[in-house]
Amino acid sequence: MRPNVELLRGRIGDLLTDTGTISYDTGETEFDEETGEETPIFADRYVGPMLVRPQYATPAEFDAGGAQWTVSRYDVTLPADTDVRIGDRVQVESTFDTKLADTFVYITDVRLDQWQIARFCIAEKSSS
């Protein structure tokens, strides 16, 4: 039995309680007066409802080359027809989690399935 995918896709929007922007690196840079460095220019790919939630209660910690890294992983849920790609930047603008608001996470996996009712992605945020 095949589920009514279109009906389910139409109803998923009520569950996407966050708002945000997905953007991609255009390959161009601009000079940042504050930092004195060239920074990448991003262009919007999607703006709208989404759901971003941490996968784990505490971030994973790694030792790489003598430096400590903290990696936080997030589940990102978007409307099924959203064009999103690995490497895209997600900025959550409105969320119930105030620590996540106005931060950037980067898409590391996009699950593809013709029957999916939403676009499910994994994003990460790392810091040293």
Domains of the chain and any CATH numbers: 5-127 (2.40.10.270)
Has residue 1 got a pLDDT over 60?
Answer: no
What does the pLDDT average to over 26-40? 92
- pLDDT tens track for 43-61: 999 999 999 988 887 778 8
User: Scanning the structure block, which residue is given the tokens 């997030």?
Assistant: 74
What does the pLDDT average to over 13-26? 90
What does the pLDDT average to over 28-48? 93
User: Scanning the structure block, which residue is given the tokens 């840079």?
Assistant: 29
Mean pLDDT of the chain: 86
Residue 63: the pLDDT is 82
Residue 128: the pLDDT is 60
Judge contact between 44 and 37, C-beta under 8 A.
Answer: no
Judge contact between 16 and 77, C-beta under 8 A.
Answer: yes
Whole-prediction pTM value?
0.82
Q: Which of 3, 7, 18 lies closest to 93 in space, CA to CA?
A: 18
